[in-house]
Every structure is written in C-alpha cells, then in structure tokens.
Amino acid sequence: MKLSFILPSDLGKSRAFLVEKVLSTTAQQQGHSVVSAAEAERVVLFNDQVPAEAAGKQGCILNLDEAFNQPEQAIAQAVNSSQVFAKATTTTSTNVVKNIVAVTACPTGVAHTFMSAEAVEKYGKSQGWNIKVETRGQVGTGNAITAEEIAAADLVFVAADIDVDLSQFKGKPMYRTSTGAALKKTAEEFDKAFKEATIYEGKAEVSNRFQKKERKGAYKHLMTGVSHMLPVVVAGGLLIAISFMFGIEAFKDPNIAYGLPKALMDIGGGAAFHLMIAVFAGYVAFSIADRPGLAVGLVGGMLATTAGAGILGGIIAGFLAGYIVKFLNDNINLPASMSALKPILILPLLGTAIVGLIMVYLINPPVAGIMESLKAWLTTMSGTNAILLGAILGGMMCVDMGGPVNKAAYTFSVGMITSQVYTPIAAVMAAGMVPPIAMTIATLIAPKKFDNSEKEAGKASFVLGLCFISEGALPFVAADPFRVIGTSIVGGAVAGALSMMLSIELQAPHGGLFVIPFVSAPLLYIGIIALGSAITGVSYALLKKAE
C-alpha cells in the first residue's frame, strides 16, 4: 500500500527527520511504499490540522510520540484506517511562505486573460508569496509553469472561462474560478481558494461549483467554441475586406490585379468562413467530451454550414456532438484488449453517424429556414426596428464588459457574419469601444474627481478602447459599478442604435481602430463611436462624486 506521512510544520527538522525515517523504514519492511500525499492511498497526520494535499484522502491521525516509539502498530493502524479527511483546514503543512501557481484564460484570449493574471500576481506578491501566473492567450502559453514549480506548489489557482488543459496539475490542490472574479475580487477568491481547494484528479473531475451551476458549464462550452473560432473569423473577414478594396465585385474578374481579389475571396470566404462554424461546433463538443468529441463536432458543424443552418445550427451541433459522445464514452465498456479501439474507431464512428443523421433529417431543415428568415429580416431592417436592435446589442456590450451578457451579444453578431449579415457586428464593435474611451474622457474633463491611479488607468483604457477591448473600463467598474455601468449602457446603446440605423457594415469581427478602414462608412463610424463615448464620459464625470 502507498503511504504518506505529513508531519507538523512546527516540528524541529531533526525530530522530523528521525520520525519520518523510522516510520518509512518500518513501512517498507512490511511491504508498503512511502510516496507523496497526492499519490498515497493512506495519509498519516499527527495533529488535527488537515492540509490541502490530504483533503479527500483516506487515512488517520496518530500521536507522534506513540508512532515513533511503536512504529509497527502505527503502520498497522494507518493501513487499516477508514477515516476520510473531508476538507482541508490548512493550506499547507510545511511551508511558511506559500508557493502558488496560477493559470488564466478567457474566451478571446486577450483582455481578461492578461488583466486577471496581473491582478493575481500583484495580490500574491503583496502577500509575500512565491507566485507564478501562466497565461493561455490567443498567441499560446505565456510564462509557462515548470514541472519543478508545480511540484513545489501549495495551491493551483485557475481563473478560466473556457476549457483548458490542466493535466500537468493532477494530484495538486486546485481552486477554480472565473477571470472576472479573479480580477474584481482577488482577495476574496484567494480566501475561498485556501478553504475550498480540492485535489485535482484529472479531466473527469468537475468542481461542485460547476456541478451546481449548469448554466455556467454551458457558457464555458460556448466560449471555448468562440475562442477557437475567432482567429478563423478574423482572418477570413479581413481577407474578404481587403479583396473589396479592389472593388466590391473585383473578385468576380480573375484578370484584375493578376487575380489577387479573387484569390483573397477564395481564401477568406471560400475557406476560412466555410470552416468557422465547424471549428466552433468542434470545440464546443471538445469542451464537453474532450478529444473524442472534436471530430464529431467538426462534422456536425460542417453539415450545419452546408445546409445553411448558420451559427444556430452550429450551436446545436456542438452540444449534440459533445453530449452524445460523452454518453457513449460513459456507457460503452470494452475489454482491456479492445479499449484502444474506443477513441479512434467506435466513438468517432457511432458519434458521427448519430449526430450526422440527426442534423441531416431533424435539425438542419427547420433551423436553415429560421436562419434564412432571420437573415431576410436583418437585411431589410430599417427605422425603428434597426434602432431598437442596435440599442439592445449596444447596451448588452456595456453591461458586464467582457462578461456573459457582453459575449452573448458578440457571439450573435459574429454568427450573423456567417450568414452574410454585417450590420450587427459593426453596432457591437462601436458600442464595445465606448466604455474604455469614455473613462478617459471623464478623467480629462473632471480630473479633481479621480485619484492618480484612476488617471493612469484612464490613459491605458483609451488605448484598450481603440483596440475594441471593453475590459479597459473594468478598473472603474470595480470602484464605482453602478454609475460606470449605467452611463456606459446609455452611450453604448446610442452608438449601437445609430450604427444599425445607418446600416453601417463591417466584415471583420475584431480589431477596433485597425479595421475601421474596412467599415462601409469609416468617417461616420468614427463619429458614432466618438458621440457614444462623449455621452458616457460627460455623464459619468457629472455623476461621479468627488474624491
């Protein structure tokens, strides 16, 4: 049996060495092995302080002196113990200075990923901890955590809104939360982490928090799909926009510019845009069912694309593929000699067949009809309806600055790009740029109402706003949520409504200032953003109380 001895932190080094040596030697003589707490079948403690690495483990609490004097009986008692340490009462048994490793990841892999990482690192250093934060952004892993740092870690703190690979942390105490909570309530989240951290057992484990809140699970799956689809959408949209710079219909003539407009359209519209819903559905399924769900989700998403079912069909395909593959994986039991066939043959074959047939016969026909009607409604929309939709989308973008409501509006607008409807994304981008730019305006026109740190944050938020990173306003939201969010919704709604009313189109789903040349009416669009930002900035400056 695998045993682990966790000695009290206040025990002298010499005494600790002697006790561990006696017990380890006795255990090995009886045919047992001594391992780390993460690998142990039985954990032996010597006081009532349960460290995080012992939480959920079976073991016993022994008297230190009796165990030292009668090691054979101590080992026998440990082996036969049936006590389970339900939860940790202390975070670490040996270290005075805590060693923390953290991982952050958000759906777009841009703003929340790095802002929450900065907040976590800053707080950890202020507490005197050894802390390292790994970011999982769109450009890959940054500040990667090493195996040695994982081995020494007392806590793994994960702030992620999407599904991320945590396999290297198996056996370590882990606490999981969102990037928004880590950014806005850093101290509170760490307090919870030290009380609620549990040993991470691998992919199959889901924390109680997420078991109880299925809505958050669905949101995480959707955002995993969006985060992987976004680079495909951005690349395709920009290439199409560049093609249009040669003329709106230049791609139809292969003789213009040596066929460059046509080639760009084939790459952007023919390849990238044709793939985007398949990638989205594939990674939604991946988030639910891990690697076996990916292939099935890709096929389901491609079927939705070819049938014209659009983003709605892709959402259904992703969830359908994920949960069907998960069900098959949980319920198909094979002999050990055939288990290798399950992930490469049985699950892909059955999953693809079942999901494919459901999509072809049941899902695609009605959903394609719905998407066609929605497309027709949006392309012919004018007047009050356009203003109302733009105001709703614009307001949603400013409710939580990168949170679920913001992402819902953004995902809808990106999805409409796949149906060749380009007005919603223009409205959403204009509104999303308003809050951070507006905070800069407020700090400039009412400097006496802001302290030095807020003025510095105002300078940074302007740059972030120009890049369409709404999260630049979050420092102000954290300090004064009601006034900032309220005024931002007003300015965002105005910007969104005007953009829709004027039928401004944009084929690139992200980029802010850098994609304005690809907007159908660039100068008018800049004016709309400026107006919305001015409304929010001035109103917030007037409403904010002086420091």
**Residues with catalytic annotation?**
106
* DSSP conformation letters of 217-230: HHHHHHHHHHHHHH
CA dihedral of 82, 87, 93, 99, whole degrees rounded to 10: 140
CB 518 within 8 A of CB 506: yes
Look at strands 173-177 and 198-199 and give their pairing: antiparallel
Distance CA 440, CA 456 (A): 9
Distance CA 527, CA 228 (A): 32
**For residue 159, what are its two tokens?**
């702030």
Look at strands 130-137 and 140-142 and give their pairing: antiparallel
Length of the chain: 547
Distance CA 64, CA 448 (A): 63
**For residue 261, what are its two tokens?**
């407009």
Which amino acid, one-letter code, is at 460? A
Look at strands 83-84 and 58-61 and give their pairing: antiparallel
SS3 label, residue 100? strand
Distance CA 257, CA 24 (A): 78
Q: Among candidates 355, 238, 243, which has minimal Cα distance to 289?
A: 355
Which amino acid, one-letter code, is at 149? E
Task: Beginning with the edge strand found earlier in the chain, give each strand of the sheet holding 83-84 in spatial order.
Answer: 33-34, 2-6, 42-45, 58-61, 83-84
**How far from 534 is each of 79, 179, 538, CA to CA, in Å?**
70, 29, 6
Q: Among candidates 23, 38, 238, which has minimal Cα distance to 152?
A: 38
Helix axis angle, 347-358 relative to 291-307, nearest 10°?
Answer: 30
